[in-house]
Homo-oligomer: A and B are copies of this chain.
Amino acid sequence: MDEVKPDKREAILQATLQLVAEHGFHDAPCSLIAERAGVAAGTIYRYFENKDVLILELYRELETKINSALLDGYSLDKPFRERFIHLVTGLLNFFILHPKEFKYIEQFHNSPYGVAFRRDRIMGQSEDCGIYVELFKQGIAQQVLKDLPLAVLCDLAFGPTVSVARNHILGVVQLDDNLISQIAAACWDSMKR
């Protein structure tokens, strides 16, 4: 009978995710977060030191969720192209399946939180980006990919991916499996030698 844990922490995180995804960081005040989480305002501070910590923690949880989704079925034994397509389609599918998470991440990246975060990430660029960086490094070394800076290869790969996900979520385009694989192939075309 550990099913009936109210788990207010999770409720607060979910409420934050929803409100920020819907309205942005503006108009996602603690009072509303508390209300939607079915919790009093003060309760938030029992689980999170302050709002900044709450927002950062939520971001980190989403990031690891995405990473484990991408790693699912990812094999270093498969050829470059297949591995690359796996990552792009995986990312697109995740975003389509989790539009709120996508919107939250976009909001985060374009906020004071996100800017500071990126700077740190760039300094010690490790952990998560590891999958991509490793793939791209090998691709360059084996002359499968264009000899461009790693950051530029990332932009070629994920710039369109993120952009297309945004347009799908906004309803500008309707992505399906066929279109997704065409887009992934197009990204590959831009990177391959």
Residue of B nearest to A118 (CB): B170
**Min distance, Cβ A92 to any Cβ of chain B, angstroms:** 11
- Complex alpha-carbon distance, A97 and B109, angstroms: 23
Residue of B nearest to A175 (CB): B152
**Min distance, Cβ A18 to any Cβ of chain B, angstroms:** 16
A130 close to chain B: CB less than 8 A: no
A167 close to chain B: CB less than 8 A: yes
List the interface of chain A (C-beta within 8 A of B).
23-27, 106-107, 110-112, 115, 118-119, 122, 146, 148-149, 151-152, 154-156, 158-164, 167, 170, 172-173, 179, 182-183, 186-187, 189-191
Kindly report how many copies of this chain are found in the complex they form together.
2
**Min distance, Cβ A151 to any Cβ of chain B, angstroms:** 5
Most buried by B among A106, A154, A163: A163
